[in-house]
Amino acid sequence: MLLQMYVLFSAIIPRKFLDGKVKTWLKHAGSRDDERIWAGTRLFFATLMGLIFFLIPFSLFPLINVLLNTEIYFDTIIRILLMIVFGIFGFLATLILFYLHLNYVIDGRKRMVESILPDFLFLVGNNLKSGMTPFYAFRSAVRPEFGPLSEEIQIATQKSLGVDSFSDALKQIAVRIDSKVLSDTTKFFAQALKSGGRLAQLIETSANDIKQTNQLKNELITATRMYSLFIIFVVAIASPMLLAVSVQFLVILGGIQGETAGISGGSAASAGSQIGFAAGATTITPEFMQNMGYMIIFCNSILASVFIGVLGGGKIRDGLKFAPIMAMIGIGIFIILLQVVGSLVGGFG
């Protein structure tokens, strides 16, 4: 029943997109799920989350009013618009999360394969030097710790036992792993098998080149790590600290204006003219500044995570996974500093 419903949801998605994109993504992620069922499942849950978010302005705000004794009310038209906006946001946000998760799985397989590929090639080269044929050299080099690469090598060797030649089966290794390094290596080795030559020396040379490239990438990440730590410090610690001080400044300024107005018997605006830095009544309340602080920290976390992703690997999505963590840490520190700064100011008063 559920499978039929998932397939029904997948009918909304164009078949060209399913075959051209989703099927390729699932291959690169190492999944053997049917693309229609996979896409239909995600679309169903995204629609369900969209309906849940659609009902938030209708059900959550009245509950908040009852629990927190607040008065949050909207006109009918504004409420309908909010429900539509919330529903679209929930639907798209769920789809984006599914897409990011799939890409993180693909990138994880890619990085793992590229990190262990030199060791695997060195084993193949040693096997060739010992007198093994290329087929048995590859098959004997398979180790469980090589993970996805071992699975693809086993599939390729099994295909070569049938109608496919070993050189053609090698080219299929990179089909299920989105790695240009692996694809170029398998194509190079397959061509070397056809043309002949010193296979062991060619493989060891390729392994050394890949190993040096990985070392350069690690050195680049290490060189930019200090910038990433500085960005995290600014977003998670420095920014909440400044915002907490700003909120307490508004609290102190409002208290000074209230005391001055009480002493002079006039309004805050007329009393404020008697002090230089508090001339006129403040239109920004501490509560408004505190709410803006939450929004600023959240937006800064997203922007900082994007910048970290570009610095680390050149991809924005690599850094987006850090945004929720930085936002929670920043908001937590902001709440703590509000209490700490408030108690310090009260102690000095």
Per-position DSSP letters for 143-194, written without gaps between them: -GGGTHHHHHHHHHHHHHTTTS-HHHHHHTGGGSS--HHHHHHHHHHHHHHH
Together in a domain, 23 and 119: no
- Under a CB-based contact definition with an 8 Å cutoff, are residues 239 and 330 in contact? yes
By residue count, the chain amounts to 349
pLDDT of amino acid 276:
46
Choose among 178, 293, 315: nearest CA to 246: 293
pLDDT of amino acid 345:
67
Alpha carbon distance 263, 274 (integer Å): 11
Together in a domain, 22 and 120: no
pLDDT of amino acid 277:
46
Please name the amino acid found at residue 95.
Answer: L
Q: What are phi and psi of 235, to 5 degrees?
A: -75, -40
Together in a domain, 203 and 229: no
Residues 6+ apart with CB under 8 A from 162: none
Together in a domain, 39 and 150: no
pTM: 0.74
Residues 6+ apart with CB under 8 A from 160: 135, 166, 168, 169
Residues 6+ apart with CB under 8 A from 178: 28, 106, 109, 110
Q: What are phi and psi of 279, to 5 degrees?
A: -70, 120
pLDDT of amino acid 94:
93
* C-alpha atoms less than 13 angstroms from C-alpha of 172 in its C-beta half-sphere: 16
Number of domains the chain contains: 3
Domain around 223 = 215-348
Together in a domain, 120 and 85: no
Together in a domain, 307 and 227: yes
Together in a domain, 155 and 222: no
Q: What residues of the chain score a pLDDT lower than 50?
A: 268-269, 271-279
Together in a domain, 207 and 221: no
pLDDT of amino acid 82:
84
Last residue within a domain, chosen from 76, 111, 146: 111
9: how many CB neighbours lie within 10 A of its CB?
20
